[in-house]
Amino acid sequence: MMLKDKVVLITGGASGIGEAVTRRFIQEGAKVSIMGRSKEKLVKMKEEFGTDILTYQGDVSKYEDNDQAVQATINQFGKLDVFIANAGVFDGFAKFADVPPHALSEAYDFLLNINVKGSFFGAKAALEELEKTNGNIIFSVSGASFYPDGGGVWYTASKHAQIGLMRQLAFELAPHIRVNAVAPGGTLTELSVIPPLSPFVKIIDNNTKASNIKKRNPLQLAQLPEDHVAAYVLLASDESRAITGEVISSDGGLSVRGLG
């Protein structure tokens, strides 16, 4: 019960890695508030977890939705200890040279509004309440935050931007709020390609995707969402009180791939 009595708000907490984190946090004793866009998924999570969870339907790219999610969390659970900016979308490895200017611009607005602006807005909305609890912020970043070909240019740029945001916030918000990140590698999730880029992306089946992921990391793992949750638990807990401005890479060892 590493998170007993903690109150946590997770964006994108009803699917993929966010859902796995939500489930584990509740097992670890936390009360969890999740924000997402799919009413169906939110209702399913609420039916399963009852009073341990609060669900809020909203768009992370709108500040007012982030603010209302924070206020709903306070009204329900009385405080906020941890904010996790997890909501994200993907560009499907669309190639820069193949995308015409109008689609490039639409893709930029669509993806960066969620991946980057959503992180800005969520952190800002949670800030005042986290100051009261000496809480912490965790960003879901990516192997694409450090290496090329973890996505296309839109996704890679957005994940690099999140790292800059995380480090600057860790600097500005110390000593009262810790700010860290988890960087999953290639993971089998429902992460879908954004509409402006779907005409320029070849969709592959899960078996092919799993094979490709295994070839890219030294541990030869086709990672599942559950493979990453322990890193979030550690950073959200008081056991990591001396850690800020850091990224835990949960990627099968991408940094030691070598030339093989």
Active site residue 232: no
Rounded to two decimals, the pTM is 0.96
How far is the first Cα of the chain from the last one, in angstroms, to the nearest whole number?
Answer: 41
Cα gap 51→53, rounded to integer Å: 5
In the structure, what pLDDT confidence band is assigned to residue 192 with cuts at 50, 70 and 90?
A: confident
For position 27, what pLDDT does the model report? Answer: 97
Residues 6+ apart with CB under 8 A from 9: 32, 33, 34, 35, 69, 70, 73, 80, 82, 83, 84, 122, 126
- What is the residue-wise DSSP string for the chain? -TTTT-EEEEETTTSHHHHHHHHHHHHTT-EEEEEES-HHHHHHHHHHHGGGEEEEE--TTSHHHHHHHHHHHHHHHS---EEEE----B-TT--GGGS-HHHHHHHHHHHHIIIIIHHHHHHHHHHHHHHHHT-EEEEE--GGGTSTTSS-HHHHHHHHHHHHHHHHHHHHHTTT-EEEEEEE-SB-S-PPBPGGGGGG-----HHHHHHHHHHHSTT---B-GGGGHHHHHHHHSGGGTT--S-EEEESSSGGG-TT-
The pLDDT of residue 67 is above 90: yes
For position 260, what pLDDT does the model report? Answer: 62
Choose, from 63, 147, 155, 232, the residue flagged as catalytic.
Answer: 155
In the structure, what pLDDT confidence band is assigned to residue 191 with cuts at 50, 70 and 90?
A: confident
Q: Taking residues 74-82, what's their average pLDDT?
A: 98
The pLDDT of residue 259 is above 80: no
The pLDDT of residue 182 is above 90: yes
> Which CATH code of 3.10.560.10, 3.40.50.2300, 3.60.10.10, 3.40.50.720 fits the domain covering 7-252?
3.40.50.720
The pLDDT of residue 25 is above 80: yes
The pLDDT of residue 26 is above 70: yes
The pLDDT of residue 98 is above 90: yes
Q: Where are the domains of the chain?
A: 7-252
Q: Taking residues 117-143, what's their average pLDDT?
A: 98
Alpha-carbon distance values, 254 to 15, 185, 188, 212 (Å)? 25, 8, 17, 14
Pairing of strands 136-140, 7-11: unpaired
